[in-house]
Structure 1
């Protein structure tokens, strides 16, 4: 298991904590805005996670394509360079996408609450 992110004053900024979690999503997997929010203790903060992902394109090493809505829909695709870039990046990682939705979402879904240890 991956060691958890320790939430402290040093990394208290919510967007930075979102980016830390997103960097841990393995290639070929994806998670949802809500799953990240729940892991960070902000259960109703999925919209804030979305805002963080919209701003992620200037952040180094943040695989924003791996964050989708709770149904596996590529709702953030309009924030990529082209309308198909998010899908292309996921497909390069072996994630099948049809009609802007991840195929076999349950198998692809990466839940930080169960994948990461919480201290």
Structure 2
């Protein structure tokens, strides 16, 4: 199995995620880009293994959808923070045009 992200990469990802304001989001690719990287999948790995103590719901897929299997919990946070959402029937995604944060 290949090694995971370095400790430095992990801490830098978590720092960027902690800086995302209420009601705003960044995609995994946005977080990677903020670090001068193209490693969106590595950002996803960091969030999966180390993201529980940061506002994980503020990091979404490029489509605006929250992390798989965490939609209900993310929706609670989005509603509490007033994050702009787009609905299609019962399915939602974050309105990236209105909510995307650029550090």
TM-score (norm. length: structure 2): 0.80
Residue 52 (str. 1) matches residue 46 (str. 2):
yes
Following the alignment from structure 1 to structure 2, what is the Cα–Cα distance between the partners of residues 54 and 100? 21
Larger strand percent? 2
Query: What are structure 1's unaligned runs of at least 5 residues?
Result: 1-11, 113-119
Residue 109 (str. 1) matches residue 100 (str. 2):
yes
Counting matched residue pairs gives 92
Which stretches of structure 1, 4 residues or more, deviate above 6 A after TM superposition? none
Residue 26 (str. 1) matches residue 18 (str. 2):
no
RMSD of aligned alpha carbons: 1.5
Residue 70 (str. 1) matches residue 58 (str. 2):
no
TM-score (norm. length: structure 1): 0.70
C-alpha change, 1:77 and 1:90, in structure 2 (3 Å) is farther
Q: CA deviation at 1:77?
A: 4.1
Q: Are 2:84 and 2:99, in contact at CA under 8 Å, matched by a contact in 1? A: no
Q: Which of 30, 35, 44 is 2:30 aligned to?
A: 35
Query: What are structure 2's unaligned runs of at least 5 residues?
Result: 1-6
Q: Are 2:28 and 2:62, in contact at CA under 8 Å, matched by a contact in 1? A: yes
